[in-house]
Structure 1
Amino acid sequence: MKKIRILILWTLFALVIQNIILFSINNKYFGKDLKVKTVKLNENNKLTKEKELVLSKKAKEVKTSFNGRFISYIEDDKLKVFDTRTGKTNIVASEKAMNIEYYKWLINDNSFILVEKNSNAANKKYFDFYSYDARNDVKRELLNFDMKKFRIDCYDKKETIGDIVFSKDSNVMYIKTNKGNSLNDVYMVNIMNEFKKVKSSAQTINKMAVLPGGTELVYQQKNMIKSLHKEKSIDVTKDGLLLGIDDSQKLYLAKLVNNKVVKVLRGDFNTPREKWESFSLEKPQEAKNILIIPEGKIVSINDEEGCLMDVIGNKKLNYKGKFLSLYDKGVISIEGEKIIKTPESN
């Protein structure tokens, strides 16, 4: 009993000392001179109300940044960028004697790559490359490791930029040019800003994508899906088209009937074709209306019914007008000339 009483007394003593220390700290650092203001959050003000954009009928090449903050378009040969937070429109000026040839927003960034082509008919044609930071309204010339500008000399005056694909993991970029007669060149820009041609006068290169987590280019050439540096290929004579690649490096192929997609097949270079997964569509769709989401979703666009269908999850998202693009919270569409954002409900 004596030991128990001693234990109780020491416990009480410790509690008293603890309260004295806390009282001292409170008075020294949080005394009467400190004023604390309680702020009540207004649920309606958590998100700033966005500014609306109504395009003119002359607007073309309408595109959006990954989070939907910026809407870009070409109007009267000028590239314009609208900020939905501020309502401000910036004009991305072309260089002297240059015209806008192509532009594409980066993955997970409010910047895009811009390509310009010289307009002087007497000179040999070429493409120059720039980046544009929409948040800061800054255009920069792309330079290589030797501080020389990225420039592609055109095969002829009619040569165009066919596509640009990026890797969000390795800062690699591939550029496809259309030379006419179904011939394509492909250029690679690596993390060291080295610029080189990796395919020359290749016959009919269609869809391109970079394998996530690396630098390897996968592309469709006629009826074959190929890997640029690896001796791997897939015959798609019976299946049709490469639709895309997800973050787990799964390839998605379109099964076509009467030039429309009826099924989507999912697999990889190492899996036998008979073991690939197959997903049927509710109704046949054009290949351009099938989107592959990096997380492994297949989305079917239906403008007639105004809805997106998650083919695997069987979920539907309704929207107004004509589909424009996806953004990180849902879908962006155009109704009339008005830009509309429809967030996905949780």
Structure 2
Amino acid sequence: MKALKRIIIWVLISLGMQIAVLYYVDNYLFASEGVSNTIVSTKVDDKKEKEKKDVTILVPEEAKNVSLSYDGMYLSYYDEEALKIIDTYTGKEKSIELEDNLQVSFYRWAPDRNLMLISAKKEYNNSSKFLFYSYDAERDLNEKLETKEQNDTALTSNKSAEVEDLQLSPLTNMIYIKTALSGGRSNIHNINIMKRINKVDTKATFIGDIRIIPNDDRIAYEAVTKNKVYVTGRENSISIDGVNKLCLIDVDDNDKIYVGELEENSINGSYKVKNIYYGTIDENMNEWNKVGLPESVNKKDIYISREGKIYINDNLKGIVTELASQKKIEYKGIFLQVYDGGVASVSEERLLETPLK
């Protein structure tokens, strides 16, 4: 009898372990199956295996939110209510169309692949709902984010709320969403690998820029009314001896966080940075590297490459300077952005790309 009881107990234990393993495999290891192959696909860095054609890429004067993908292969902008995508290698143009005549409310290119994250807004009497999509430009494939149960990955919020940022982790494909009300109060949510949305605990009500720490899945974010920078999962803000005001500049591929020391008279929306500090969140912050700037610079004119190079743009002179080497890259027209390998600008409604090398 005792032997039979032992056998039954071991059988139950074995079944329990098998069920636990199967649950993990089904819900986590293979959770991406049937969800969105666009996002979970790995980056393919083949530059399309073709030469860039001698084509002129036009940027209409009325275009808004003009942006290039990480490698400059695709240009995007709003033209009236349409989101346009242009292949800068061929000149081919496409308009992003969503179901039920939904309009794009926000978009952002991924940091390491030609993939775009998109939010669309549905308004109701007293609330709004945001739906999310991923567009793979190289495959020309647009997919709505859905859970494994084929429910919409949706975020319900106040009617006046808007999506202000979307951040994608290159390593795990975790997505972070920043929303803000008309008065500036902000929230951050994440979309996990199962395409479910969860609210993220933060130490600030008014949040500025957010940046994902790529190999960590945490995010750094600004508390704009406090002039502090926090990282999720930590109680205290980033603190450097002798520095009272900080803003978030960027995070590179090696998880180094770049923060700017602000002038005392800096106000939100007009940050003036006089020094840059950078390091990882696990290092002693008082041992972070310091980069002194020759003169104070607007935060919006500072660009950090994925490799950690610091670039300063001078709009008046039309020059981008790499701080470490002091190499200067001259460009024509109105500055657009720094991307992997080049500086993009617009002159006479034409896209110009100036190599960094």
- Common fold by TM > 0.5: yes
Unaligned runs of 5+ in 1: 1-45
Kindly tell me the number of residue pairs found equivalent between the two proteins: 298
Listed as ranges, the matches of 1:17-166 within 5 Å are 47-118=51-122, 122=125, 124-155=127-158, 157-166=159-168
Shift of 1:342: 0.7
Give the 5 Å matches for 1:236-315: 238-257=244-263, 258-259=265-266, 260-315=272-327
Tell me, in whole angstroms, the C-alpha distance in 2 between the residues paired with 1:170 and 1:219.
19
Give CA-to-partner distance per residue, 1:258-309, whole Å, 9 cap, x none.
4311211123444444433221223321111111222121111111111111
1:21 corresponds to which residue?
A: none
Q: Cα deviation per residue 1:109-135 (whole Å; 9 max; x = unaligned)? A: 11201111125x647421111111222
- Is the alpha carbon distance of 1:296 and 1:173 closer, same or farther for their aligned partners in structure 2, counting shifts above 3 Å? same
1:279–1:312 CA contact under 8 A, matched in 2:
no
The answer to whether the 8 Å contact 1:244/1:292 transfers is yes
Q: Taking structure 2 as the reference length, what is the TM-score of the superposition? A: 0.77
Query: CA 1:122/1:98 → structure 2, altered by over 3 Å: closer, same or farther?
Result: farther
Q: Which amino acid aligns with 2:320?
A: L
- 1:198 shift after superposition: 1.6
Report the Cα distance in structure 1 between the residues aligned to 2:286 and 2:191, rounded to whole angstroms: 36
Residue 217 of structure 1 pairs with residue 219 of structure 2: yes
Structure 1 residue 78, shift from structure 2 partner: 0.7
1:317 aligns with one of 299, 312, 329: 329
The aligned residue for residue 206 of structure 1 is 208
Q: 1:152 to 1:202 in 2, by over 3 A?
A: farther
SS at match of 2:295: strand
In structure 2, distance between residues paired with 1:246 and 1:95: 35
Q: Which residue in 1 is equivalent to 2:350?
A: 338
* 1:47-101 CA-partner distances (Å, limit 9, x unpaired): 3324211222221111111121111111121111111222211111133252220
Q: Is the 8 A contact 1:164 1:175 kept in 2?
A: yes
Give me the whole-angstrom Cα distance separating, in 2, the residues matched to 1:122 and 1:223. Answer: 36
For the residue of structure 2 that corresponds to 1:96, the secondary structure is: helix
Answer 1 or 2: higher relative contact order, Cα 8 Å, separation at least 6: 2
C-alpha separation in 2, matches of 1:275 and 1:139: 45
Where does residue 41 of structure 1 map in the other structure? none
1:327 aligns with 2:339: yes
- 2:155–2:197 contact (8 Å) kept in structure 1: no
Instruction: Give the aligned CA root-mean-square deviation in angstroms.
Output: 2.2
Distance in 1 of aligned mates of 2:54 and 2:108:
23
TM-score by length of 1: 0.79
Deviation at 1:152, TM superposition (A): 1.1
Partners of 1:238 and 1:136 in 2: how far apart? 47
CA contact (8 A) 2:303 2:338 kept: no
**Percentage of matched positions with identical amino acids:** 30
The question of whether the paired residues in 2 share the 8 Å contact of 1:185 and 1:201 is answered with: no
| Runs of 4 or more above 6 Å deviation | none
User: Greater Rg, structure 1 or structure 2?
Assistant: 1
Gaps in structure 2 of 5+ consecutive residues: 1-49, 267-271
* Partner SS state of residue 199, structure 1: coil
Tell whether the 8 Å contact from 1:97 to 1:118 is kept in structure 2 after alignment: no
Contact 1:145 1:194 in 2 (8 A): no
Please tell me whether the aligned partners of residues 50 and 84 of structure 1 are also in contact (alpha carbons under 8 angstroms).
no
- Give the equivalent residue in structure 1 for 2:10: none
Following TM superposition, by how much is the alpha carbon of 1:255 offset from its aligned partner in structure 2, in angstroms? 1.6
Q: From the two aligned structures, give the one with the greater strand fraction.
A: 1
Kindly provide the CA deviation profile for residues 227-249 of structure 1, in whole angstroms up to 9, marking residues without a partner as x. Answer: 21234532477132111222332
**Partner SS for 2:200:** strand
Structure 2 counterpart SS, 1:114 = strand
